[in-house]
Chains A and B, each alone.
Chain A
Amino acid sequence: MLGLIKKDFLLIKANSKQMVIIFIVYLMLAFQGTFDATFIVPLIGIMLFISTFSYDDFNNWNSYAVTLPDGRRNVVRAKYIASIILTVILGAVALAISAGISYTKTNSINVDEIMSSLMGTMLSSVIIISLLYPSVFKFGATNGRIILFAVVFGAAGIGALIAQFVDMTSIINIINRLDNYSLIAIPIISVILLGISYLISNKIYQRKEF
């Protein structure tokens, strides 16, 4: 499985030249205060990682990957592990950048604020991975993304419709209360979401033909 993880990182490395420019632009915006670095850096990582699925599809990689000794399960596992590693690394980078910006501007580091913002972004990354990957494994990188957007916007629309008739205050209160325990709650929620997502993706991939 290590070989498969390395292949994705090598792909990201090969593709990273264009992303460096985007990264610098966002970094400048983050420094100006337009964007929060804790928000943008991990999301750039997700964007980069999703491009590995596109390259896999475009180059028929999967038909070859399933002929390797690692087997189908490890192809899926490698994708999840590699994206988690990337998210964590970029989370740490984002943390360092935010701390640097905060120190440059105010001569002090607001750890609580940075951590809270970073945890929120990490959870967003986990939600994106958890929702997107099964869809991408099922429908391919291009269609998977389109279908997921349609489903998410559809669900948001239905949610908004329900909110007009049902009192959502209690749900919002629960979420707000969770926020107080984010350092514990977010990792737990992340593991659960990623676990469920992995199981679904694995089931899809086991049946897939290339």
Chain B
Amino acid sequence: MENIIEIKNLKKKYDDKFELGKIDIAIQKGVIVGLIGENGAGKTTLIKSMLNIIKIDSGEIKIFGKDYKKEEKEIKEDIGVVLDNMFFPELLNAKDINNAMKDVYKNWDSELYFSYLKEFDLPDNKPLKSMSKGMRKKLEIATALAHKPKLLILDEPTSGLDPVVRNEVLDIFLKFIEDEEHSILLSTHITSDLEHIADEIIFIDKGKKVLQKSRDEIIDNYGILKCDIDYFSNIDKKDMVAYKKTKYAYEILVNDKEQASKKYHNCVIDKITLEDLMLLVIKGEKIC
């Protein structure tokens, strides 16, 4: 299948404190990809690099098979963006945004925009400063969708939204990729959202890509093997991805839970959530 995003050897250094190092990513058309990692891991830096908000030190970025700098205008006509910080001037209202945006995007559809406002229960004549954080986020999502983009790049799009609205938004994302022509890359701290909608997960830690796998592969194959402290030495390091010592036991991240359950039948193997995976890799000792 065609790659909608291709990143090769991306490097970006901020002083001596942080470096996004040698990132290679390929994202196929028609999928929702979740970008996970703790604060400061490099998720926003990666997204900002792709959108040319920040300048990369080296590497290659292609979106829709086109160079992200040389064919920036064409690419950006087909991308919908939500950034981690609020970005619309707070004196404006939703009508003003429609007024300006219809002359920004060729494919801007005012009717579609106002239908999203209605769906999200957003007022069109109230200045943004009098809206809640959740309402403003919904307005940003409506704006990102109203020019019928092929790709959505979203940095923390569901933060600040209550569970009901979050579900509505996730449904809209699922609807968006229904035709298999559209794709979404979204970063989030709310990993449970990704368990519902993501096809693929990219995990970034300290500026490095730790993992890129399908959600099903992670949920089906990865697990947490729990054993007591004495038994830990019997576990083959080849079977571990990472481990963490708790007060009375070890929690070991394994990437083939079926095989591990056969091999270590004295141990318990729990199902994994994306949050468990993140915690074990970030807080635990990494093996490979």
Contacts and interface: CB of A to CB of B under 8 A. Distances in A.
Interface of A: 2-4, 6-7, 10-11, 14-15, 55-56, 58-61, 63-64, 66-71, 207, 209-210
Contacts of B48: 63, 209-210
B73 A66 contact: no
Interface string B161-195: 00000000000000000000000000000000000
Interface residues of B, number: 32
A69 B102 contact: no
B148 to A, nearest CB: 13
Interface string B79-121: 1010101111111100010011111111000000000000000
Interface stretch (B25-33, B52-60, B240-248): B52-60
Contacts of B275: none
A66 B52 CA distance: 7
A61 B77 CA distance: 18
Given A56-B89, A67-B83, A71-B76, 7 more contacts: A7-B92, A7-B96, A14-B127, A68-B104, A70-B104, A71-B72, A71-B73
Contact of B54 (A10, A64, A210): A210
A207 B103 CA distance: 25
Contacts of B88: 59, 61, 64
B99 A6 contact: yes
Contacts, number: 88
B201 interface: no
Contacts of A210: 48, 53-54
Interface of B: 48, 51-55, 72-74, 76-77, 79, 81, 83, 85-92, 96, 99-106, 127
Contact of B103 (A3, A61, A64, A71): A3
A71 B76 CA distance: 9
A154 to B, nearest CB: 30
Nearest to B100: A7
Contact of A60 (B76, B87, B101, B127): B87
